[in-house]
Amino acid sequence: MTVERPKQVIGEIVWRDLTVPHAEGVRDFYRDVVGWEAVDHPMPAPEGGEPYADYVMQTPPGPGAGDAVTGICHARGSNTGVPAQWLIYVRVADLDVSVERAVKGGGELVQGPRDMGNGRLAVVRDPAGAVIGLWAD
């Protein structure tokens, strides 16, 4: 039996994260306000630091229980320099080309490109100052 992989659509939002200095308190805030359940996502130790955990927030018990809906991350390690705000990640065809076009179009590279194991990402700031994550499989 062959399992078909879902078509990867260029331009679709593929993930969303919130990166903040103190992820535990914000994790608890969204748990209480929205009902999300938190699952630790182990992170490697940053240079000179100790390992820590970011959080994958999942839907609460009931229909669709346990579906991962977002990440809440510490602004350290690989997320150092990422602004404290909700960040969406949009799939692009070629990450390097998209980053180059962003910079040429008046934007700024905030972070990356970097490998994530199952893909690559970069964070760019548009000419108006808003940031967006770019993702390539």
CATH architecture of 10-80: Roll (3.10)
Asked if 10-80 and 92-137 have one fold, the answer is yes
Q: Name the burial class of residue 52, with classes exposed (0-12), middle (13-18) and buried (19+) by CB atoms within 10 angstroms of its CB.
A: middle
Domain ranges of the chain: 10-80, 92-137
Close Cβ partners of 60 (under 8 Å, ≥ 6 residues apart): 35, 36, 37
Euclidean distance between CA atoms 135 and 22, whole angstroms: 25
Residue 77's pLDDT is 87
pLDDT in tens, the chain (137 residues): 455 656 789 999 999 999 999 999 999 999 999 999 999 999 988 888 889 999 999 998 888 788 999 999 999 988 888 888 999 999 999 999 999 999 999 999 999 999 988 899 999 999 999 999 999 99
- What's the pTM value of the predicted model, to 2 decimals? 0.85
Residue 8's pLDDT is 84
Euclidean distance between CA atoms 13 and 123, whole angstroms: 14
CATH no., domain 92-137: 3.10.180.10
87: number of Cβ within 10 Å: 22
